[in-house]
Protein backbone atom coordinates (compact mmCIF):
# COMPACT_ATOMS: atom_id res chain seq x y z
CA UNK A 1 0.00 0.00 0.00
CA UNK A 2 1.37 3.38 -1.00
CA UNK A 3 1.71 5.56 2.07
CA UNK A 4 2.59 8.97 0.80
CA UNK A 5 2.42 10.85 -2.45
CA UNK A 6 5.48 12.73 -3.54
CA UNK A 7 6.30 16.00 -1.87
CA UNK A 8 6.63 17.73 -5.22
CA UNK A 9 3.00 17.02 -6.02
CA UNK A 10 1.82 18.71 -2.84
CA UNK A 11 4.08 21.69 -3.44
CA UNK A 12 2.64 22.04 -6.92
CA UNK A 13 -0.89 21.87 -5.53
CA UNK A 14 -0.12 24.51 -2.93
CA UNK A 15 1.18 26.89 -5.57
CA UNK A 16 -1.89 26.25 -7.72
CA UNK A 17 -4.24 27.02 -4.83
CA UNK A 18 -3.75 30.25 -2.89
CA UNK A 19 -6.26 29.17 -0.25
CA UNK A 20 -5.02 25.81 1.05
CA UNK A 21 -2.12 26.19 3.47
CA UNK A 22 0.49 23.64 4.47
CA UNK A 23 1.46 24.79 7.97
CA UNK A 24 4.44 22.51 8.54
CA UNK A 25 7.00 25.10 7.46
CA UNK A 26 7.38 28.89 7.49
CA UNK A 27 6.58 31.53 10.15
CA UNK A 28 4.44 30.05 12.93
CA UNK A 29 2.62 33.19 14.06
CA UNK A 30 1.90 34.28 10.50
CA UNK A 31 0.38 30.92 9.58
CA UNK A 32 -1.87 30.88 12.65
CA UNK A 33 -3.01 34.49 12.24
CA UNK A 34 -3.47 34.10 8.47
CA UNK A 35 -5.74 31.13 9.09
CA UNK A 36 -7.54 32.70 12.06
CA UNK A 37 -8.47 36.01 10.41
CA UNK A 38 -10.89 34.61 7.79
CA UNK A 39 -12.44 32.42 10.51
CA UNK A 40 -12.80 35.55 12.65
CA UNK A 41 -14.54 37.50 9.88
CA UNK A 42 -16.73 34.52 9.05
CA UNK A 43 -17.79 34.15 12.66
CA UNK A 44 -18.38 37.89 12.83
CA UNK A 45 -20.84 37.72 9.96
CA UNK A 46 -22.48 34.66 11.53
CA UNK A 47 -22.81 36.48 14.83
CA UNK A 48 -24.14 39.61 13.16
CA UNK A 49 -26.87 37.74 11.36
CA UNK A 50 -27.76 35.88 14.59
CA UNK A 51 -28.10 39.27 16.28
CA UNK A 52 -30.06 40.73 13.39
CA UNK A 53 -32.35 37.71 13.68
CA UNK A 54 -33.14 38.67 17.27
CA UNK A 55 -33.23 42.40 16.52
CA UNK A 56 -35.80 41.96 13.78
CA UNK A 57 -37.89 39.53 15.82
CA UNK A 58 -37.71 41.74 18.93
CA UNK A 59 -38.66 44.91 17.12
CA UNK A 60 -41.31 43.48 14.78
CA UNK A 61 -42.76 40.55 16.74
CA UNK A 62 -42.46 41.64 20.38
CA UNK A 63 -40.77 40.55 23.61
CA UNK A 64 -42.38 37.10 23.79
CA UNK A 65 -41.14 36.21 20.31
CA UNK A 66 -37.71 37.60 21.24
CA UNK A 67 -37.64 35.33 24.30
CA UNK A 68 -38.56 32.33 22.12
CA UNK A 69 -35.75 32.94 19.61
CA UNK A 70 -33.13 34.26 22.06
CA UNK A 71 -33.35 31.26 24.38
CA UNK A 72 -32.80 28.80 21.51
CA UNK A 73 -29.02 28.50 21.73
CA UNK A 74 -28.73 26.00 24.58
CA UNK A 75 -31.26 23.54 23.15
CA UNK A 76 -29.88 23.72 19.62
CA UNK A 77 -26.33 23.21 20.88
CA UNK A 78 -27.34 20.24 23.02
CA UNK A 79 -28.96 18.46 20.07
CA UNK A 80 -26.43 19.41 17.36
CA UNK A 81 -23.30 19.61 19.53
CA UNK A 82 -22.50 15.90 19.28
CA UNK A 83 -22.32 16.03 15.51
CA UNK A 84 -20.23 19.21 15.56
CA UNK A 85 -17.78 17.35 17.79
CA UNK A 86 -17.62 14.42 15.39
CA UNK A 87 -16.95 16.78 12.49
CA UNK A 88 -14.10 18.33 14.46
CA UNK A 89 -12.71 14.80 14.68
CA UNK A 90 -12.90 14.39 10.91
CA UNK A 91 -11.15 17.74 10.50
CA UNK A 92 -8.29 16.53 12.72
CA UNK A 93 -7.99 13.29 10.74
CA UNK A 94 -7.94 15.13 7.41
CA UNK A 95 -5.41 17.71 8.66
CA UNK A 96 -3.05 14.94 9.82
CA UNK A 97 -3.27 13.12 6.48
CA UNK A 98 -2.76 16.42 4.67
CA UNK A 99 0.32 17.16 6.80
CA UNK A 100 1.60 13.62 6.17
CA UNK A 101 0.88 14.00 2.41
CA UNK A 102 -1.25 10.82 2.37
CA UNK A 103 -3.62 11.37 -0.57
CA UNK A 104 -5.44 8.03 -0.47
CA UNK A 105 -6.51 8.21 3.16
CA UNK A 106 -7.29 11.91 2.81
CA UNK A 107 -9.78 11.07 0.05
CA UNK A 108 -11.33 8.24 2.07
CA UNK A 109 -11.70 10.52 5.08
CA UNK A 110 -13.31 13.26 2.96
CA UNK A 111 -15.96 11.04 1.38
CA UNK A 112 -16.70 9.27 4.66
CA UNK A 113 -17.20 12.64 6.34
CA UNK A 114 -19.71 13.86 3.74
CA UNK A 115 -21.62 10.56 3.78
CA UNK A 116 -21.83 10.65 7.57
CA UNK A 117 -23.00 14.30 7.44
CA UNK A 118 -25.90 13.43 5.14
CA UNK A 119 -27.01 10.44 7.21
CA UNK A 120 -26.70 12.22 10.56
CA UNK A 121 -28.45 15.32 9.21
CA UNK A 122 -31.49 13.25 8.23
CA UNK A 123 -31.59 11.64 11.68
CA UNK A 124 -31.31 15.05 13.30
CA UNK A 125 -34.43 16.23 11.44
CA UNK A 126 -36.44 13.44 13.05
CA UNK A 127 -34.93 13.84 16.53
CA UNK A 128 -35.29 17.63 16.54
CA UNK A 129 -38.94 17.60 15.45
CA UNK A 130 -39.96 14.85 17.88
CA UNK A 131 -38.07 15.96 20.99
CA UNK A 132 -37.77 19.75 20.94
CA UNK A 133 -41.30 20.37 22.25
CA UNK A 134 -40.89 17.89 25.09
CA UNK A 135 -37.52 19.35 26.09
CA UNK A 136 -38.94 22.88 26.14
CA UNK A 137 -41.67 21.75 28.53
CA UNK A 138 -39.06 20.02 30.69
CA UNK A 139 -37.08 23.29 30.73
CA UNK A 140 -40.04 25.05 32.36
CA UNK A 141 -40.38 27.39 29.40
CA UNK A 142 -43.08 29.94 30.34
CA UNK A 143 -46.49 29.10 28.87
CA UNK A 144 -46.72 32.42 27.03
CA UNK A 145 -43.42 31.64 25.25
CA UNK A 146 -43.82 27.87 24.72
CA UNK A 147 -45.92 27.89 21.49
CA UNK A 148 -43.50 30.21 19.67
CA UNK A 149 -40.43 28.34 20.97
CA UNK A 150 -41.82 24.98 19.87
CA UNK A 151 -42.74 26.31 16.43
CA UNK A 152 -39.31 27.90 15.97
CA UNK A 153 -37.41 24.74 16.89
CA UNK A 154 -39.47 22.36 14.78
CA UNK A 155 -39.07 24.49 11.67
CA UNK A 156 -35.38 25.11 12.42
CA UNK A 157 -34.57 21.39 12.64
CA UNK A 158 -36.18 20.71 9.26
CA UNK A 159 -33.01 22.20 7.76
CA UNK A 160 -30.61 20.06 9.76
CA UNK A 161 -29.17 18.28 6.69
CA UNK A 162 -28.02 21.60 5.24
CA UNK A 163 -26.37 22.53 8.52
CA UNK A 164 -24.51 19.23 8.94
CA UNK A 165 -23.31 19.15 5.32
CA UNK A 166 -22.06 22.74 5.54
CA UNK A 167 -20.20 22.11 8.81
CA UNK A 168 -18.63 18.94 7.44
CA UNK A 169 -17.53 20.66 4.22
CA UNK A 170 -16.23 23.73 6.03
CA UNK A 171 -14.26 21.41 8.32
CA UNK A 172 -12.55 19.88 5.27
CA UNK A 173 -11.43 23.31 4.05
CA UNK A 174 -10.19 24.27 7.49
CA UNK A 175 -8.28 20.99 7.83
CA UNK A 176 -6.18 21.84 4.78
CA UNK A 177 -5.60 25.41 5.95
CA UNK A 178 -8.25 27.05 3.75
CA UNK A 179 -10.33 29.29 6.00
CA UNK A 180 -11.23 31.74 3.22
CA UNK A 181 -13.87 29.78 1.33
CA UNK A 182 -15.98 29.14 4.47
CA UNK A 183 -15.73 32.91 5.05
CA UNK A 184 -17.09 33.70 1.58
CA UNK A 185 -20.01 31.32 2.04
CA UNK A 186 -20.85 32.66 5.50
CA UNK A 187 -20.92 36.21 4.15
CA UNK A 188 -23.30 35.20 1.37
CA UNK A 189 -25.57 33.20 3.70
CA UNK A 190 -25.52 35.97 6.33
CA UNK A 191 -26.75 38.64 3.93
CA UNK A 192 -29.33 36.18 2.59
CA UNK A 193 -30.58 35.48 6.11
CA UNK A 194 -30.87 39.18 6.98
CA UNK A 195 -32.75 39.96 3.77
CA UNK A 196 -35.15 37.06 4.31
CA UNK A 197 -35.66 38.03 7.98
CA UNK A 198 -36.72 41.50 6.91
CA UNK A 199 -39.01 40.02 4.27
CA UNK A 200 -40.63 37.22 6.31
CA UNK A 201 -40.74 38.91 9.74
CA UNK A 202 -40.72 42.63 8.99
CA UNK A 203 -42.96 42.71 5.90
CA UNK A 204 -44.97 39.46 5.86
CA UNK A 205 -45.19 39.30 9.70
CA UNK A 206 -44.56 35.56 9.90
CA UNK A 207 -42.99 35.98 13.37
CA UNK A 208 -40.67 33.27 14.70
CA UNK A 209 -41.68 30.94 11.86
CA UNK A 210 -40.35 33.47 9.38
CA UNK A 211 -37.05 33.72 11.27
CA UNK A 212 -36.67 29.93 11.26
CA UNK A 213 -37.51 29.63 7.53
CA UNK A 214 -34.98 32.36 6.72
CA UNK A 215 -32.32 30.41 8.62
CA UNK A 216 -33.09 27.19 6.73
CA UNK A 217 -32.85 28.86 3.32
CA UNK A 218 -29.55 30.56 4.16
CA UNK A 219 -28.12 27.27 5.48
CA UNK A 220 -29.22 25.50 2.31
CA UNK A 221 -27.38 28.07 0.22
CA UNK A 222 -24.15 27.79 2.22
CA UNK A 223 -24.19 23.98 2.05
CA UNK A 224 -24.66 24.03 -1.74
CA UNK A 225 -21.77 26.46 -2.10
CA UNK A 226 -19.36 24.42 0.00
CA UNK A 227 -20.23 21.16 -1.78
CA UNK A 228 -19.91 22.81 -5.19
CA UNK A 229 -16.46 24.15 -4.32
CA UNK A 230 -15.25 20.75 -3.14
CA UNK A 231 -16.65 19.09 -6.28
CA UNK A 232 -14.93 21.45 -8.75
CA UNK A 233 -11.62 21.68 -6.88
CA UNK A 234 -8.51 20.34 -8.61
CA UNK A 235 -6.80 19.67 -5.28
CA UNK A 236 -6.17 16.40 -3.45
CA UNK A 237 -9.34 17.00 -1.41
CA UNK A 238 -11.68 17.12 -4.40
CA UNK A 239 -15.12 15.63 -3.78
CA UNK A 240 -16.37 12.93 -6.20
CA UNK A 241 -20.09 12.28 -5.77
CA UNK A 242 -19.81 8.66 -6.89
CA UNK A 243 -17.24 8.04 -4.13
CA UNK A 244 -19.42 9.32 -1.29
CA UNK A 245 -19.79 6.39 1.06
CA UNK A 246 -18.81 5.30 4.53
CA UNK A 247 -15.43 3.60 4.79
CA UNK A 248 -15.73 1.52 7.95
CA UNK A 249 -12.12 1.78 9.17
CA UNK A 250 -12.00 5.50 8.39
CA UNK A 251 -15.28 6.19 10.15
CA UNK A 252 -13.88 4.35 13.17
CA UNK A 253 -10.84 6.65 13.24
CA UNK A 254 -13.01 9.75 12.79
CA UNK A 255 -15.31 8.67 15.60
CA UNK A 256 -12.33 7.92 17.85
CA UNK A 257 -11.19 11.50 17.33
CA UNK A 258 -14.63 13.10 17.31
CA UNK A 259 -16.81 11.25 19.82
CA UNK A 260 -15.04 12.71 22.89
CA UNK A 261 -15.66 16.21 21.51
CA UNK A 262 -19.22 15.26 20.63
CA UNK A 263 -19.91 13.93 24.11
CA UNK A 264 -18.32 17.04 25.55
CA UNK A 265 -20.53 19.33 23.45
CA UNK A 266 -23.72 17.43 24.18
CA UNK A 267 -23.19 17.14 27.92
CA UNK A 268 -22.13 20.79 28.18
CA UNK A 269 -25.22 21.63 26.15
CA UNK A 270 -27.29 19.59 28.61
CA UNK A 271 -25.68 21.45 31.52
CA UNK A 272 -26.49 24.75 29.84
CA UNK A 273 -30.08 23.55 29.43
CA UNK A 274 -30.20 23.18 33.21
CA UNK A 275 -28.73 26.67 33.56
CA UNK A 276 -31.34 28.00 31.11
CA UNK A 277 -34.06 26.23 33.09
CA UNK A 278 -32.96 28.11 36.20
CA UNK A 279 -33.02 31.38 34.23
CA UNK A 280 -36.51 30.55 32.91
CA UNK A 281 -37.71 30.40 36.51
CA UNK A 282 -37.16 34.17 36.72
CA UNK A 283 -39.70 34.78 33.91
CA UNK A 284 -39.84 35.76 30.26
CA UNK A 285 -38.12 39.12 30.83
CA UNK A 286 -35.11 37.35 32.29
CA UNK A 287 -35.16 34.96 29.32
CA UNK A 288 -35.20 37.88 26.86
CA UNK A 289 -32.48 39.83 28.70
CA UNK A 290 -30.13 36.89 29.19
CA UNK A 291 -30.86 35.60 25.69
CA UNK A 292 -29.99 38.99 24.22
CA UNK A 293 -26.78 39.03 26.25
CA UNK A 294 -25.89 35.55 24.95
CA UNK A 295 -26.21 36.83 21.38
CA UNK A 296 -23.78 39.64 22.19
CA UNK A 297 -21.50 37.27 24.10
CA UNK A 298 -20.97 35.56 20.78
CA UNK A 299 -18.63 38.42 19.90
CA UNK A 300 -16.26 37.21 22.61
CA UNK A 301 -16.20 33.85 20.85
CA UNK A 302 -14.95 35.40 17.60
CA UNK A 303 -11.24 35.26 18.55
CA UNK A 304 -11.87 32.16 20.66
CA UNK A 305 -13.29 30.10 17.79
CA UNK A 306 -10.83 31.57 15.29
CA UNK A 307 -7.70 30.71 17.24
CA UNK A 308 -9.06 27.37 18.46
CA UNK A 309 -9.71 26.25 14.86
CA UNK A 310 -6.36 27.59 13.73
CA UNK A 311 -4.60 25.73 16.53
CA UNK A 312 -6.41 22.47 15.77
CA UNK A 313 -5.36 22.66 12.11
CA UNK A 314 -1.82 23.88 12.87
CA UNK A 315 -1.15 21.24 15.52
CA UNK A 316 -2.83 18.51 13.45
CA UNK A 317 -0.74 19.19 10.35
CA UNK A 318 2.50 19.45 12.32
CA UNK A 319 1.79 16.32 14.34
CA UNK A 320 1.14 14.54 11.03
CA UNK A 321 4.51 15.80 9.75
CA UNK A 322 6.16 14.87 13.10
CA UNK A 323 7.14 18.51 13.76
CA UNK A 324 6.59 18.33 17.53
CA UNK A 325 8.62 21.38 18.60
CA UNK A 326 6.88 23.50 15.99
CA UNK A 327 3.47 22.30 17.27
CA UNK A 328 4.51 23.26 20.81
CA UNK A 329 5.55 26.80 19.81
CA UNK A 330 2.34 27.31 17.86
CA UNK A 331 0.23 26.16 20.82
CA UNK A 332 1.90 28.68 23.13
CA UNK A 333 1.46 31.60 20.73
CA UNK A 334 -2.15 30.76 19.88
CA UNK A 335 -3.30 30.32 23.49
CA UNK A 336 -1.86 33.68 24.57
CA UNK A 337 -3.17 35.55 21.51
CA UNK A 338 -6.63 34.00 21.96
CA UNK A 339 -6.88 35.00 25.63
CA UNK A 340 -5.70 38.59 25.07
CA UNK A 341 -8.02 39.28 22.12
CA UNK A 342 -11.06 37.86 23.96
CA UNK A 343 -10.32 40.03 26.99
CA UNK A 344 -10.28 43.18 24.85
CA UNK A 345 -13.78 42.34 23.62
CA UNK A 346 -14.82 41.58 27.20
CA UNK A 347 -13.80 45.04 28.39
CA UNK A 348 -15.71 46.70 25.54
CA UNK A 349 -18.83 44.66 26.34
CA UNK A 350 -18.53 45.40 30.07
CA UNK A 351 -18.63 49.13 29.38
CA UNK A 352 -21.17 49.23 26.56
CA UNK A 353 -23.66 46.48 27.46
CA UNK A 354 -26.55 48.77 28.55
CA UNK A 355 -26.44 50.43 25.13
CA UNK A 356 -26.06 47.15 23.25
CA UNK A 357 -29.01 45.45 25.01
CA UNK A 358 -31.22 48.49 24.30
CA UNK A 359 -31.02 47.65 20.60
CA UNK A 360 -32.99 44.46 21.27
CA UNK A 361 -35.62 45.90 23.56
CA UNK A 362 -36.47 49.18 25.27
CA UNK A 363 -37.89 47.35 28.30
CA UNK A 364 -35.75 48.49 31.27
CA UNK A 365 -36.07 45.12 33.03
CA UNK A 366 -34.77 43.25 30.00
CA UNK A 367 -31.87 45.70 29.76
CA UNK A 368 -31.14 45.27 33.48
CA UNK A 369 -30.99 41.46 33.29
CA UNK A 370 -28.62 41.47 30.32
CA UNK A 371 -26.38 44.17 31.80
CA UNK A 372 -26.16 42.39 35.15
CA UNK A 373 -24.98 39.20 33.47
CA UNK A 374 -22.40 41.07 31.40
CA UNK A 375 -20.93 42.87 34.42
CA UNK A 376 -20.32 39.53 36.14
CA UNK A 377 -18.98 37.51 33.20
CA UNK A 378 -17.28 39.78 30.66
CA UNK A 379 -13.99 40.43 32.48
CA UNK A 380 -13.40 36.68 32.69
CA UNK A 381 -13.42 36.12 28.92
CA UNK A 382 -9.63 35.64 28.99
CA UNK A 383 -9.94 32.38 30.95
CA UNK A 384 -12.81 31.20 28.76
CA UNK A 385 -10.64 31.82 25.68
CA UNK A 386 -7.61 30.09 27.17
CA UNK A 387 -9.64 26.93 27.88
CA UNK A 388 -10.98 26.78 24.33
CA UNK A 389 -7.53 27.40 22.85
CA UNK A 390 -6.05 24.57 24.90
CA UNK A 391 -8.93 22.31 23.86
CA UNK A 392 -8.16 23.16 20.21
CA UNK A 393 -4.52 22.18 20.75
CA UNK A 394 -5.45 18.88 22.35
CA UNK A 395 -7.89 18.00 19.57
CA UNK A 396 -5.30 18.77 16.92
CA UNK A 397 -2.90 16.45 18.72
CA UNK A 398 -5.51 13.69 18.75
CA UNK A 399 -6.03 13.97 22.52
CA UNK A 400 -9.73 14.79 22.39
CA UNK A 401 -10.43 12.83 25.58
CA UNK A 402 -8.49 15.38 27.64
CA UNK A 403 -10.65 18.47 26.87
CA UNK A 404 -13.72 16.25 27.18
CA UNK A 405 -12.73 15.16 30.69
CA UNK A 406 -11.75 18.65 31.82
CA UNK A 407 -14.80 20.43 30.46
CA UNK A 408 -17.29 17.80 31.57
CA UNK A 409 -15.84 17.95 35.07
CA UNK A 410 -15.90 21.72 35.47
CA UNK A 411 -18.42 23.02 32.91
CA UNK A 412 -20.99 20.33 33.72
CA UNK A 413 -20.57 18.60 37.07
CA UNK A 414 -19.14 21.54 39.02
CA UNK A 415 -21.35 24.13 37.29
CA UNK A 416 -24.62 22.27 37.79
CA UNK A 417 -23.74 21.24 41.36
CA UNK A 418 -22.86 24.82 42.25
CA UNK A 419 -26.10 26.22 40.78
CA UNK A 420 -28.27 23.53 42.36
CA UNK A 421 -26.83 24.02 45.84
CA UNK A 422 -26.24 27.77 45.93
CA UNK A 423 -29.50 28.88 44.28
CA UNK A 424 -31.33 26.81 46.89
CA UNK A 425 -29.63 28.94 49.55
CA UNK A 426 -29.48 32.27 47.69
CA UNK A 427 -32.34 32.40 45.12
CA UNK A 428 -30.88 35.19 43.02
CA UNK A 429 -30.11 35.18 39.30
CA UNK A 430 -26.59 36.53 39.97
CA UNK A 431 -25.74 33.16 41.50
CA UNK A 432 -26.35 31.57 38.09
CA UNK A 433 -24.21 34.16 36.32
CA UNK A 434 -21.23 33.52 38.64
CA UNK A 435 -21.23 29.83 37.67
CA UNK A 436 -19.52 30.68 34.40
CA UNK A 437 -16.43 32.64 35.58
CA UNK A 438 -15.90 30.08 38.35
CA UNK A 439 -15.87 27.04 36.05
CA UNK A 440 -13.92 28.80 33.27
CA UNK A 441 -11.14 29.59 35.73
CA UNK A 442 -10.94 26.06 37.13
CA UNK A 443 -10.75 24.50 33.65
CA UNK A 444 -8.05 26.97 32.55
CA UNK A 445 -5.85 26.12 35.52
CA UNK A 446 -6.18 22.41 34.74
CA UNK A 447 -5.45 22.91 31.04
CA UNK A 448 -2.37 25.02 31.82
CA UNK A 449 -0.92 22.27 33.98
CA UNK A 450 -1.49 19.63 31.28
CA UNK A 451 -0.15 21.85 28.50
CA UNK A 452 3.05 22.58 30.42
CA UNK A 453 3.57 18.87 31.14
CA UNK A 454 4.03 18.18 27.42
CA UNK A 455 2.11 14.87 27.56
CA UNK A 456 -0.05 15.94 24.61
CA UNK A 457 3.03 15.74 22.34
CA UNK A 458 3.44 11.99 22.82
CA UNK A 459 1.95 10.42 19.71
CA UNK A 460 1.19 7.01 18.31
CA UNK A 461 1.82 6.26 14.65
CA UNK A 462 -0.79 7.81 12.34
CA UNK A 463 -3.50 5.33 11.55
CA UNK A 464 -3.57 3.86 8.05
CA UNK A 465 -6.77 2.40 6.69
CA UNK A 466 -6.48 -1.26 5.86
CA UNK A 467 -3.77 -2.10 8.40
Taking every pair of C-alpha atoms in the chain, what is the biggest distance, in angstroms? Answer: 68
pLDDT band at 445 (very low <50, low <70, confident <90, very high): very high
Q: Which is it for the CA torsion 355, 358, 363, 367, positive or negative?
A: negative
- The overall average pLDDT reported for the chain is 83
Convert the pLDDT of each residue in 242-267 to its tens digit. 999 999 989 998 988 888 888 877 77
pLDDT band at 72 (very low <50, low <70, confident <90, very high): low
**Torsion of Cα atoms, 330 then 336 then 337 then 343, to 10°:** 160
Count of alpha carbons within 13 Å of 51, Cβ hemisphere only?
18
Indicate if the pLDDT at residue 73 is higher than 70.
Answer: no
pLDDT band at 321 (very low <50, low <70, confident <90, very high): confident
The predicted model scores a pTM of 0.71
The pLDDT value recorded for residue 466 is: 39
**Contacts of residue 449, Cβ cutoff 8 Å, sequence gap at least 6:** none
Indicate if the pLDDT at residue 12 is higher than 50.
Answer: no
- Cα distance between residue 55 and residue 428, in whole Å: 28
DSSP 405-426: HHHIIIIIIIHHHHHHHHHHHS
Convert the pLDDT of each residue in 330-370 to its tens digit. 889 999 999 999 999 999 999 999 888 887 778 888 889 88
- Cα distance between residue 53 and residue 213, in whole Å: 11
pLDDT band at 193 (very low <50, low <70, confident <90, very high): confident
pLDDT band at 84 (very low <50, low <70, confident <90, very high): confident
**Contacts of residue 144, Cβ cutoff 8 Å, sequence gap at least 6:** 64, 284
**Angle formed at CA 305 by CA 302 and CA 307, multiple of 5 degrees:** 100
From the CA atom positions of the chain, what is the Rg in Å? 22
Q: Among residues 399, 382, 375, which one has the least CA distance to residue 451? A: 399
Q: Which is it for the CA torsion 24, 27, 28, 34, positive or negative?
A: negative
Q: Which is it for the CA torsion 154, 155, 157, 158, positive or negative?
A: positive
Count of alpha carbons within 13 Å of 358, Cβ hemisphere only?
5
Amino acid sequence: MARFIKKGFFMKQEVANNHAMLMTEGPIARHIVKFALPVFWGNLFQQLYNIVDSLIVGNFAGDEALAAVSSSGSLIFMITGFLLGVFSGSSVVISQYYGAKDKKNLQNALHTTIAFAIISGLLLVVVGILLSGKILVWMDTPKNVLPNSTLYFRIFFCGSVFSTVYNAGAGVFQAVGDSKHPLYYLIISSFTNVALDLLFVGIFHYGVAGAAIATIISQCLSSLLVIHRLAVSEETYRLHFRKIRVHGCMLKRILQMGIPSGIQNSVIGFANIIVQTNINAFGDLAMAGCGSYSKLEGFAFLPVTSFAMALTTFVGQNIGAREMERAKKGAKFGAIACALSAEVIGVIMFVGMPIFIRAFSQNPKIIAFGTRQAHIECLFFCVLAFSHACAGVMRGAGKAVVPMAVMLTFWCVVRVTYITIVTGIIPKIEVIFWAYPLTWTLSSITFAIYLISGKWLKQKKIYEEGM
